[in-house]
């Protein structure tokens, strides 16, 4: 919707008497009507009056034809064309194309990479249509790891991601038009694992030396092996190299440290 105009028109007829009595007519337009106003001098002036609410987003201008008819016989008429432009009011908020935007990226994504792009549109015109994007109330880690381009809506990485640190980020974004109307959306970013961790071996205990009469099956060393990656990337197999009458036996993690040698 927008600002309306009411215009006053004035016509004249050089004839005198009934030949100069003018009637006015507005050629069919449901948005405007004609009213006659008598000014202090007694002269009647037609006024163009707005009949219903305008909506610039539906119709941004009107072409009206005003006709004045005199009282002569035969009557003579004159017409004038009136163009009315409707200016924009900020009556539409920006609207995000989705309520929730989702992306899935690998944890080794280089800093500055595009993660996803959001879009909000606004039906108004000019600055009322111009949308800028910003983070809502986001945790510090989100603000440190991601950046949003206020004009394009592009979300990029701003720091190194780490699946082992955090595998999912959820935060709000805001779109604001030039007149201050806003919309919100949610962004969900899933981080996927990359095999970026090497297995770590820790010796928890070691019995050395071992007596030569130690029975077969004696536990000589207790080892802990782990890999911070997940899935197949985190599965570890152990093997022993070198010449020794020893073998590696898997024991479940849950048993340690309750477990002692036999
Ligand atoms: C109305 O809009 C038209 C098209 O944009 C423009 O050419 C014209 O000058 C405008 N008229 C007024 C009175 O603003």
pLDDT of amino acid 10: 64
Q: Would you say residue 64 has pLDDT above 50? A: yes
Residue 142: pLDDT band by 50, 70, 90 thresholds?
Answer: very high
Tell me how far the alpha carbon of residue 82 lies from the centroid of ligand 1, in angstroms: 11
Q: What is the mean pLDDT of residues 128-157?
A: 96
Residue 12: pLDDT band by 50, 70, 90 thresholds?
Answer: confident
Q: Name the average pLDDT for the chain.
A: 88
pLDDT of amino acid 17: 72
pLDDT of amino acid 3: 45
3-class secondary structure, 126: helix
Closest residue by CA, ligand 1 atom 12: 85
Tell me how far the alpha carbon of residue 85 lies from the centroid of ligand 1, in angstroms: 6
Share of the chain above pLDDT 70, in %: 90
- Tell me the range of 13-22, 150-159, 245-254 where mean pLDDT is highest: 150-159
Share of the chain above pLDDT 90, in %: 61
Distance CA(167)–CA(175), nearest Å, equals 26
Distance CA(134)–CA(143), nearest Å, equals 11
pLDDT of amino acid 24: 85
Closest residue by CA, ligand 1 atom 5: 85
- Cβ atoms 103, 116 nearer than 8 A: yes
Render pLDDT for 75-98 as a digit per residue (tens, 0 to 9): 899 999 999 999 999 999 999 999
pLDDT of amino acid 252: 66
Three-class secondary structure assignment of 146-193: EEECCCCCEEEECCCCCCCCCCEEEEEEEEEECCCCEEEEEEEEEEEC
Q: Would you say residue 8 has pLDDT above 80? A: no
The number of CA neighbours under 13 Å toward the Cβ of 261 is: 14
Q: What is the mean pLDDT of residues 14-41?
A: 81
Q: H/E element holding 6?
A: none
Using the Cα atoms of residue 102, residue 106, residue 107 and residue 109 in order, give the sign of their dihedral.
negative
Tell me how far the alpha carbon of residue 57 lies from the centroid of ligand 1, in angstroms: 16
Tell me how far the alpha carbon of residue 63 lies from the centroid of ligand 1, in angstroms: 11
Tell me how far the alpha carbon of residue 130 lies from the centroid of ligand 1, in angstroms: 22
Render pLDDT for 184-205 as a digit per residue (tens, 0 to 9): 999 999 999 999 999 999 999 9
Which atom of ligand 1 is the closest one to the Cα of 85? 1
Instruction: Give the contacts of 11 (CB within 8 A, at least 6 positions apart).
Output: 22, 24, 46, 68, 78, 80
Q: What is the best residue among 85, 87, 88, 126 to mutate for testing ligand 1's pocket, by most ligand atoms within 8 Å of CB?
A: 85
Distance CA(179)–CA(174), nearest Å, equals 14
Q: Would you say residue 41 has pLDDT above 90? A: no
3-class secondary structure, 48: strand
Closest residue by CA, ligand 1 atom 11: 85
Residue 9: pLDDT band by 50, 70, 90 thresholds?
Answer: low
- Domains, the chain: 6-85 (2.60.40.60), 95-192 (2.60.40.60), 200-255 (no CATH)
Q: Would you say residue 261 has pLDDT above 80? A: no
């Amino acid at each position: 919707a927008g600002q309306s105009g009411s215009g006053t028109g004035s016509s004249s007829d050089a004839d005198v008497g009934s030949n100069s009595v003018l009637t006015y007519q507005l050629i069919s337009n449901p948005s405007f009507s004609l009213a006659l106003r008598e000014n202090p001098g007694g002269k009647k002036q037609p006024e163009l009056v707005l009949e219903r609410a305008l909506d610039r987003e539906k119709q941004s201008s009107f072409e009206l034809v005003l006709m004045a008819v005199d009282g002569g016989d035969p009557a003579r008429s004159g017409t004038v064309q009136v163009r009315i432009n409707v200016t924009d009011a900020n009556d539409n908020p920006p609207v995000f194309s989705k309520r929730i935007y989702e992306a899935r990226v690998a944890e080794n994504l280089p800093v500055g990479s595009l993660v996803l792009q959001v879009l909000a549109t606004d039906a108004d015109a000019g600055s009322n249509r111009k949308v800028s994007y910003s983070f809502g109330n986001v945790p510090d880690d989100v603000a440190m790891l991601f950046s949003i381009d206020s004009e394009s809506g592009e979300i990029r990485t701003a720091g190194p991601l780490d699946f082992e640190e955090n595998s999912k980020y959820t935060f709000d974004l805001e779109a604001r038009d030039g007149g201050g109307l806003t919309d919100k959306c949610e962004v969900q970013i899933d981080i996927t694992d990359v095999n970026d961790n090497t297995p770590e071996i820790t010796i928890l205990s070691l019995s050395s030396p071992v007596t030569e009469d130690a029975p077969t099956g004696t536990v000589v060393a207790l080892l802990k092996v782990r890999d911070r990656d997940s899935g197949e990337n985190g599965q570890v197999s152990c093997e022993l190299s070198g010449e020794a009458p020893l073998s590696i036996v898997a024991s479940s993690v849950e048993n340690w440290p309750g477990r002692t040698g036999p």
